[in-house]
Structure 1
């Protein structure tokens, strides 16, 4: 009998010991009640409680948590839009009691405040302003939640507007507006590029015309210099300026006819443009022939003189004797 009683006592002691020991995880707080009344808050690690008398009423997560709230509201320009608000909050370690006992469901409380703030701020803005000032909306939500939730043992770390979703038709209209704006900008850039091309082409043409005019001027200057030299050469051989001019004109005329004749695909025929043109051309030809004969005779005379001078130079003795007087010359004869 005594052995049975001793065994019972040992078994009962083990049960009490096992039920009186518990552990609390890291970043977690356990609320212990005794006979239904708050007794203590236990932090992470191995903890003890009195079996039967004490019990764990609940555990609170001390990590940063996130709650996503989707709010549908209307903007100032009567556009319905859905906003996704992400609230990051945390239980204050020094206010675990308030966080556990003052709020039945903190998520519902936070959601209610988010709805209230968003539906008070967004109707003051137009749709474009909602996109541009989403940080203002998030700051307003954070400020309102901090003032309200700090008394309940919760700290609002940060609030974010993570999504703004207008009505489908409104999104389509915004996309069309955006596409039109981009097409307008693209058209402006294309027009500017075309203008640059036209200006560059005009400048190139102007430069080409300038260089072409300079080339023509240089060509005419050289032609004039050549004509001047030709007239000087002809004057040197005894041909007057009028005859020289006629010869040059006829020569250029025949050069032109020759260049035209070299073109095999041409059907151009040159005819005199006045009744006197034929006789004038004939007179010019006769004058050119006479001038050519004169040039030929003059050149022959010059060549003959040069030949005699060259022969005399070759026949001259290498050793030069002193000149003889008339008597010596006659005696030698």
Structure 2
């Protein structure tokens, strides 16, 4: 019945984009609205204002020539003041964000050695957030938070690092046994 008389219901945490004769006419807030289709009005679509999350996994090379996989979460949402831009300007927000995230990560990781990379995780996340916020605000999106949740070195390097750690532990145990035999403190 709502379609016949032109009533539209917009759910909580959503907004609807209204058009008049195919041109943007306004944003409808949550609630029930009259959109008389017989006079050329229509709802072009709805936009969720909830915070959304995307995961990006990027392979990059450190300054000491180690390949690492960096996993980054981006929390974002359409800006309530710029719903028109979020609805009309960008067709695929995921690919656009991915390009900026990869660009910042590649640039940042290539300047750091592997050990320093783990220490600078927060700084890189902040750089990604600032760059992404600058770029995506033109499309009506605000970046709430970026988190680098995982930095994983190449499998061959992980194997070598684990072997070295095991060898050091074995050597440490052997030295302690030798010291105990001779009555010395380790």
Normalised by the size of structure 1, how large is the TM-score?
0.51
Give 1:91 shift: 1.4
After superposition, give the CA deviation of every residue in 1:195-245 in whole Å (9 maximum; x if it has no partner).
5xx269xxxxxxxxxxxxxxxxxxxxxxxxxxxxxxxxxxxxxxxxxxxxx
Inter-partner Cα distance in structure 2 for 1:152 and 1:185: 57
Inter-partner Cα distance in structure 2 for 1:49 and 1:199: 89
Give 1:89 shift: 0.7
Inter-partner Cα distance in structure 1 for 2:165 and 2:86: 48
Of the candidates 98, 103, 112, which is equivalent to residue 116 of structure 1? 103
Q: How many residues align?
A: 184
Answering whether residue 147 of structure 2 is matched by residue 160 of structure 1, we say yes
SS in 2 for 1:67: strand
Inter-partner Cα distance in structure 2 for 1:169 and 1:154: 40
Answering whether residue 116 of structure 2 is matched by residue 139 of structure 1, we say no
Deviates more, 1:100-109 or 1:110-119: 100-109
Correspondence for 1:217? none
Correspondence for 1:227? none
Report the structure, 1 or 2, having the larger strand content.
Answer: 2
**Shift >3 Å, 4+ stretches:** 13-16, 184-195
1:280-295 mapped onto 2 (5 Å cutoff): none
Give 1:134 shift: 1.6
After superposition, give the CA deviation of every residue in 1:11-46 in whole Å (9 maximum; x if it has no partner).
xx98631xx011111111110101110011011111
Correspondence for 1:5? none
* Structure 1 unmatched ranges of 5 or more: 1-12, 201-333
Correspondence for 1:91? 78
Q: Look at both structures and tell me which one has the larger radius of gyration over its CA atoms.
A: 1
Select the structure with the greater relative contact order (CA < 8 A; seq sep ≥ 6).
2
Answering whether residue 88 of structure 2 is matched by residue 101 of structure 1, we say yes
Normalised by the size of structure 2, how large is the TM-score?
0.89
Inter-partner Cα distance in structure 1 for 2:23 and 2:47: 17
Report the structure, 1 or 2, having the larger helix content.
Answer: 1
Inter-partner Cα distance in structure 1 for 2:114 and 2:184: 44
Inter-partner Cα distance in structure 2 for 1:186 and 1:103: 60
